[in-house]
Structure 1
Amino acid sequence: MNPQKIISIRKASFAMLLMGAAGLAACLPAAASDALSTPPAGFVWTGGYAGVHLGYGGGRTTVTELDFYTFSEFGDTQFKFNSNGFLGGVHAGYNWQSGQLVYGVEVDLTGANIDNTVANSMLPRSNESFSTSVDWFSTARVRLGYSIDRFLPFVTGGFAFGHARSSYDDNDAAQNNHAIADNVVAGWTIGAGAQYALTDNWSLRAEYLYVDLEDSRGAFQYAGDTFRYDFDNDIHVVRLGASYKF
């Protein structure tokens, strides 16, 4: 083939390629705009909602003696014990959806009966006991989920606060020494769950939350000395709920 014809063909092909690329580039903004304006396929989670939840909570309390006393003959200054109980409450929030990504905010208020009283097992001959009770807590969280039509797995996290009453008692009628911390304390929470939309308005959920409440302190005085106790309460929560989307 004539070299000049080959060069002419290549020039024509290159020109066509440039024209095609230019046309594609011109179409991209319009295509991107269409993609952004296209509503999510399947169920749409965008909107406000409110609901109720029920569940079970397990607490873990760590008591730390901060001064001159120990909880055993071996110098232990920490004692840990578990508590548990049922809980229930209300929640409300708002979701936004972009494609399959669902993000939003949620607040809840939960009444609880998470409590326990235990003897000091590290010093069996004593009458000492420890107790804790969490009767309510609340959270304010962000949620991030991935929509699979009506199924929405999500992660969540944010702030928490609640009322905890913890104590140490020597159960000695003569001395009557007890340290009580009875406070509303702040903290944080993190968790995960899944939600399923039964209808356009009603959905069911299951979720787990770990709630870490701030330490609180109680103290008593004996023979001129002050004995201070630090109480650290953490809660593991599993709950089921139903929500109505407005």
Structure 2
Amino acid sequence: MRFHCRTGFGIFCVLALATGAQAQDLTAHDWSGVYLGASIGGVGGSGKVEATTSDGFVGSYFTSPDPEQIAATVAGPLSQWRATGGVFAGYGQQWDNLYLAVEGSANSLSFDGSRSSGAVYLSNPDGQFTHRLSATADWQATVRARLGLAQDRWLGYVTGGAAVTRIKLDATFADDFLGAGAAGHSASDDTVLGFVLGSGGEYALNDRWTARVEYLYADYGKVSTSSVVTNPAFPVFSNDLDTSFRFRTHTISVGLHHRF
């Protein structure tokens, strides 16, 4: 009886240790290594359109209060949501529960929006003006640090770094004052550097494959373009008109990556 009890207890201990080791193998996860993946989601591009000009100088086409009225009329939001897809790669290292990584990403943006505005001149009710700004941005890329806390197969993190995109602006101003009216047109094409902040979470499906969900906010500051407004009826009079657009994006995505 004593032999059977001892034998049964020994078998129980062996099974318990084996089960514990197996459970540990199933839950313990090392997040260190190089990884490569892809993501899909939605991205919202938004910003504020503004226009500035001046008067009160010799040779000015505009008179008071044209500059203030143009600025107030043109100012307004421009936003758009689009589907996005991209790729990302990085290297991470885990120390106990602390995780630190460097990651680069590139995503489609497909932003293509415009804002039109206009009003009757307060300075002269016989004329009215219109303004239109078109803005496009096809892609954005980031280089970021990621700082996270790992718990078994779960990882939560915050992230931040540099973001870059290419923004094209096309601005048009026109009025119908005295015959042909005044007109001005300008365009710009700039690669812009900004900053990006965000957070996310990951779950290890197995030792190599990981799923993630992530939110990123990128701010690219103001981009501007400048035109000269002239009227053929008064060729000696003109004004510079600066149109600006402060651009930022919000990206929500899900992704899958493989760690090597």
Cα distance change on mapping 1:75 and 1:117 into 2, 3 Å: closer
Residue identity matched to 2:112: D
Q: State the shift of 1:171 in Å.
A: 6.3
- 1:235 aligned to which of 249, 255, 258: 249
* Residues paired across the two proteins, number: 205
Tell me the equivalent position of 1:54: 40
SS in structure 1 opposite 2:151? coil
Q: Would you say 1:210 and 2:224 are equivalent positions?
A: no
8 A Cα contact 1:71 1:79, kept in partner: no
8 A Cα contact 1:60 1:235, kept in partner: yes
The aligned runs of 1:144-159 (5 Å cut-off) are 144-159=147-162
Using structure 1 for the length normalisation, give the TM-score.
Answer: 0.75
Q: Answer with 207-216 or 137-146: which moved more.
A: 207-216
8 A Cα contact 2:146 2:159, kept in partner: yes
8 A Cα contact 1:71 1:77, kept in partner: no
Q: Would you say 1:106 and 2:111 are equivalent positions?
A: no
Q: Would you say 1:181 and 2:188 are equivalent positions?
A: yes
Unaligned runs of 5+ in 2: 1-26, 55-65, 121-127, 231-237
Tell me the equivalent position of 1:94: 91
Q: State the shift of 1:232 in Å.
A: 1.2
Q: State the shift of 1:126 in Å.
A: 5.2
Residue identity matched to 2:201: A
Q: State the shift of 1:192 in Å.
A: 0.4
Tell me the equivalent position of 2:24: none
8 A Cα contact 2:51 2:75, kept in partner: yes
8 A Cα contact 2:53 2:239, kept in partner: no
SS in structure 1 opposite 2:53? coil
SS in structure 2 opposite 1:177? strand
Unaligned runs of 5+ in 1: 1-40
Q: State the shift of 1:203 in Å.
A: 0.7
Q: State the shift of 1:127 in Å.
A: 4.3
8 A Cα contact 1:84 1:115, kept in partner: no
Measured against aligned partners, the alpha-carbon deviations of 1:137-187 in whole angstroms (never above 9, x if no partner) come to 110000011111111111000001111122332367955523323211000
Residue identity matched to 2:101: G
Tell me the equivalent position of 1:226: 240
Measured against aligned partners, the alpha-carbon deviations of 1:79-120 in whole angstroms (never above 9, x if no partner) come to 222122122111000111011111110001112212222322
8 A Cα contact 2:52 2:71, kept in partner: no
Tell me the equivalent position of 1:43: 29
Tell me the equivalent position of 1:168: 171
SS in structure 2 opposite 1:208? strand
8 A Cα contact 1:71 1:78, kept in partner: no
